Amino acid sequence: MGLAEALHPGLITALQQVADPDLELYLVGGALRDALLHRLHRDPWRGLPDIDLLVQYRDPGVDPASAEPAAHALAQRLLAQHGSGAVRCQFHHAYGTVELEWQGVWIDLATARHEHYPRPAQNPQVRPGRLEDDLARRDFSVNAMALPLRDLQEQAVVDPYGGLEDLAARQLRLLHAHSLRDDPTRALRAARYAARLGFALEPSSLAQLRGTLQSWPWSWKPGDPPDQAPPALSTRLRMELELLLEREPWAAALNQLQQWGALVLLEQGLQRDATWQRRLRWAARLGLSPLPALLMGANDPVALAQRLQLPHREQQLLQRSSLLLRQLQKQAAAAALPQTAAAWTEQLETGADAPQVVKLVLVAASHPQPPWRRPLLRWLLHWRLLVAPVTAKMLLEQGYRPGPALGAALKKARAEHLASEKC
């Protein structure tokens, strides 16, 4: 695939028409990187071909702080002249960006900007800038290249950080000495790219990664209140982790992170965890979300879920699963596990999410096989589906009245039915 094929042919023409004469437009980021690798770049969540475009005013004398964001100006012209091809469009005024789905292509239009990290792992401060500023804020050299749209055929790539050389060497090179101190989520992006593209982390970048993790330059430290973690150690880290688990070759990516020592960004327990791959494969079989399954290998899954700001439902699932797992471990140690199907059912059926809780406990203790594994599987696949041999209607006909007594009678009838099941 050539560079011309990396863009929708009609999109090239439409953008070139509306970009002249006062706007400069560049193909950047993953779209350019993948085109140079003869790959089609796709948005990881939508699956659509994904084009990253950078826009700036051609006249360097234009003050970008006072002018309309260049990406907004371009998007408005595109919509005015070719709006019939647009499916959806969203302007982000705080960053001067536009997200646009146009004729089956997802387009990210960004105004050139400069970023500064006031403190490590915090969100950056953003202000308008030029092309060189925008390339300097990126993560790896292979993503810090630009191709002027007018030179698409000439392939005059702007490459200030040696990205073309690193593409040829199939390696990922961090741009700056403090890249990971500023944004530790770049470690997860490195693992995602390495797994997807088959690249290796360049030696000096690997040294920076390990040195940064060892020095831990961030204000938040393990053991501090989870809600005080900065964004790149909480919400942004979770977003990268979700992408890794749901849209990438996760086994290769997590293996890279563990080899680099980078799972300590999540928790030291996960860095030492040798069973994450088995848990995630069992989670897929049982229809569980991969992130809670991964976190069940942590020393404190609930605290880690709180720091990553998982949805409340998943935090509750981890809390209930951890509680049940500890309960089963104590019962096993005291030789006090339930001995009948009815007793198991009474212990496990504690809420509407009981099947999910039991599945997560099964995933968390898949090896070595604990003594409660078989009863939990039998409850999940059979016992919980058994109903009382009598119905409420039948009991009402026998003289019962609606109320607690009716419910107790149905529960007793189901327990008697479960008593015939082998445990």
* Other residues' Cβ atoms within 10 Å of the Cβ of residue 173: 22
Type of residue numbered 397: E
pLDDT at 46: 77
pLDDT at 177: 95
Tell me which DSSP letter residue 48 carries: S
Catalogue the long-range contacts made by 330-336 (C-beta closer than 8 Å, 24 or more residues apart): 331/372, 332/370, 332/371, 332/372
Tell me which DSSP letter residue 5 carries: G
pLDDT at 63: 72
Nearest Cα neighbor of 420 from 345, 312, 315 is: 345
pLDDT at 42: 82
User: 86: helix, coil or strand?
Assistant: strand
Scan for tokens 């935090």, then name that residue. 315
Q: What is the mean pLDDT of the chain?
A: 89
Compute the chain's Rg from CA coordinates.
Answer: 28
Burial group, residue 21, by CB count within 10 angstroms (0-12, 13-18, 19+): exposed
Nearest Cα neighbor of 78 from 15, 24, 144 is: 15
| pLDDT, tens digit, 9 for 90 and up, residues 15-59 | 777 776 788 899 999 989 998 898 888 877 777 888 899 999 888
- What's the whole-model pTM score? 0.88
| pLDDT, tens digit, 9 for 90 and up, residues 113-170 | 999 999 999 999 988 899 999 999 999 999 999 998 876 666 689 999 999 999 999 9
| pLDDT, tens digit, 9 for 90 and up, residues 259-316 | 999 999 999 999 999 999 999 999 999 999 999 999 999 999 999 999 999 999 999 9
- In angstroms, what CA-CA distances link 170 with 113, 141, 147, 377, 416? 28, 11, 20, 46, 65
pLDDT at 278: 94
| pLDDT, tens digit, 9 for 90 and up, residues 217-256 | 999 999 999 999 999 999 999 999 999 999 999 999 999 9
Burial group, residue 88, by CB count within 10 angstroms (0-12, 13-18, 19+): exposed
Is the predicted pLDDT of residue 2 greater than 60, yes or no?
A: no
pLDDT at 418: 78
Tell me which DSSP letter residue 370 carries: P
Is the predicted pLDDT of residue 191 greater than 80, yes or no?
A: yes
Two tokens, residue 32? 């350019």
| pLDDT, tens digit, 9 for 90 and up, residues 81-122 | 877 777 788 998 878 899 988 888 888 999 999 999 999 999
